[in-house]
A = this chain, B = another copy of it.
Amino acid sequence: MEKTEIENVFIEKLLQNDKRTVGRAISIVESVDEKSENLLKKIYRHIGKAHRIGITGPPGAGKSTITNQLTKLFRNQNKTVGIIAVDPTSPFTGGALLGDRIRMNEIGQDPGVFIRSMAARGSLGGLSKKTIDAADIFDSAGYDYIILETVGVGQSELDIAQASDTTIVVLVPESGDSVQAMKAGLMEIADFFIMNKFDRPGSEQALSALKSVLIMRHHDEHSWVANILSAVATNDTGILEIANEIEKHKNYLIKENCLIKRRSQQAKMRIKEIVEDKIKNKLWNENGNNYLNSTLESVTINSLSPYRIADQIIENFKNQL
């Protein structure tokens, strides 16, 4: 078979949700090279049907349990689910997450479910790009729901909102004061909140505290109002309500013509990121780096300003782009 033919067979199998091919496709996408880009370009016209759900929140809030229960519920409705669990490589949370992965084995055996863990590997910009790429693979393979799950640390929760149609922030009663410390960003990205472990003491107070923070958010009569749902995910309490809220948000996005606006905005950010990454890769390839290193003596010894060197590098780059 010719190369293009092999590729076409691969894509055909991917679109039919052949499990081995889906796994292989995500591995290709994770490696970020020409092959990955080529694949993503080819499948793009097959995507856009899945509903993408982002789940974020502090460590230990129960994000994996919620993902687990929600997946079982979707499966009972005969819907298929692709899950991307982003593991930060932090030594402080690594253990707990590994436990979550093991716990998820229960749904992992289901042929209508595909779970994939991705490491965060430091660079968060890189994370979001690959997460979206992997979601595109699931989307092309026809999964009805794609759940992106990540610990809300640093930049990652903003990345997840950038990749999701519906973004859910999970909190626990004990995160009461962490709510206050939370950057305004987390409040802004949530389409709704889940106060999980609602059987713990102090739950009602934590709920009121969160409500009083949220009430300060401005909205007009047509805009979506972020609700707070309570849940005890470990015994399946509140999961149906979560699924209903997702459905309600999905319908709102379609009815108010927000889905296309949101995805268009996301595409804009994504294109910008791809362009900048490509240019950076070209700028600092072996040649570019050698050139940069060769200029450093001019700075330290001849006192040539970094701004002048920057001009030289850009001039030199023009001919190479």
Contacts and interface: CB of A to CB of B under 8 A. Distances in A.
A308 B41 CA distance: 7
A44 B300 contact: no
- What is the count of identical protomers in the complex? 2
Interface in A267-299: 267-268, 270-272, 274-276, 278-280, 283-284, 292-293, 295-297, 299
A126 B232 CA distance: 43
A321 interface: yes
Given A264-B299, A279-B279, A313 B44 contact: no
A267 B154 contact: no
A37 B307 contact: yes
Interface of A: 37, 40-41, 44-45, 47-48, 92, 154, 180-181, 260, 263-264, 267-268, 270-272, 274-276, 278-280, 283-284, 292-293, 295-297, 299-300, 303-310, 313-314, 317-318, 321
11 contacts: A45-B305, A267-B300, A271-B299, A271-B306, A274-B307, A274-B310, A275-B283, A276-B276, A279-B279, A279-B314, A317-B321
A139 to B, nearest CB: 11
A47 to B, nearest CB: 8
* A contact patch SS: helix
Nearest to A269: B306
Contacts of A306: 44, 267, 270-271, 274
A270 B292 CA distance: 11
A288 to B, nearest CB: 9
A201 B301 CA distance: 50
A91 to B, nearest CB: 8
Contacts of A264: 296-297, 299-300
Given A300-B267, A303-B44, A310 B275 contact: yes
A268 to B, nearest CB: 6
Contacts of A274: 306-307, 310
Given A268-B293, A272-B292, A274-B310, 10 more contacts: A37-B307, A40-B305, A40-B307, A44-B304, A48-B303, A154-B154, A274-B307, A279-B283, A314-B321, A321-B321
Scoring A180, A270, A310 by chain B CB atoms within 10 A of each residue's CB, the highest score goes to: A310
A178 to B, nearest CB: 12
Contacts of A40: 305, 307
Contacts of A47: 303
A260 to B, nearest CB: 5
Nearest to A260: B300
B268 A307 contact: no
A37 B308 CA distance: 9
Given A279-B283, A317-B321, A321-B317, A44 B305 contact: yes
